[in-house]
Amino acid sequence: MHTPHSKLILIVEDYEDDAKLLQVLLTNCGLANPVRIALSAEEAINYLAGGPPFSDRAKYPLPGVVFVDLKLPGISGFDLLRWMRGHPELANTFTVVLSATGDLPSVQAAYALGANTFLIKPCRIADLENLVICYPDFWERAVMPLLLQPPSKESPPTG
């Protein structure tokens, strides 16, 4: 049922609260993409490689979007990007790098390793909306967010 690159979003973030906040912001943008959270680069690599318990691709499809925190313990976000770049099956994965600092060397290194875009943490809903608008093919809309809905033209019935 899933295409090789599903609408699944994989969030790679070592702080579970930050990952859940990003998930809430994505939902508040009106997105219906399924979200999976990996709390380390090791877990993300295992998921992306289809290692146990993630070997059933129908149940654990390759993500269409990966959010990668650069500052991860153990294997860093940069190392994860390097690993992803070495796997052609991930070449069409939309990769969003997250960092608390937007220093130029980190931004340049992330892009050199294949990142599609770079966001400063904490993410703002406006940043995510811009991603959805600029790269519409990766997202699944549930409903139009309330902030973007045009005002109703209907007038209340008169008695």
Render the chain in DSSP notation, one character per residue.
Answer: ---SS-S-EEEE-S-HHHHHHHHHHHHHTTB---EEEESSHHHHHHHHHT-TTS--TTTSPPPSEEEEES--SSS-HHHHHHHHHT-GGGTT-EEEEEES---HHHHHHHHHTT-SEEEESSP-HHHHHHHHHHSGGG--BSS--GGGSPPP-PPPPP-
- pTM for the model stands at 0.86
What are the pLDDT digits (tens) for 112-145?
A: 999 999 999 988 999 999 999 999 999 998 765 5
pLDDT beneath 70: ranges in the chain: 1-5, 143-159
User: For position 142, what pLDDT does the model report?
Assistant: 78
User: For position 45, what pLDDT does the model report?
Assistant: 98
Map out the domains of the chain with their CATH numbers.
9-141 (3.40.50.2300)
Neighbours of 11 (CB within 10 A): 26
User: For position 102, what pLDDT does the model report?
Assistant: 87
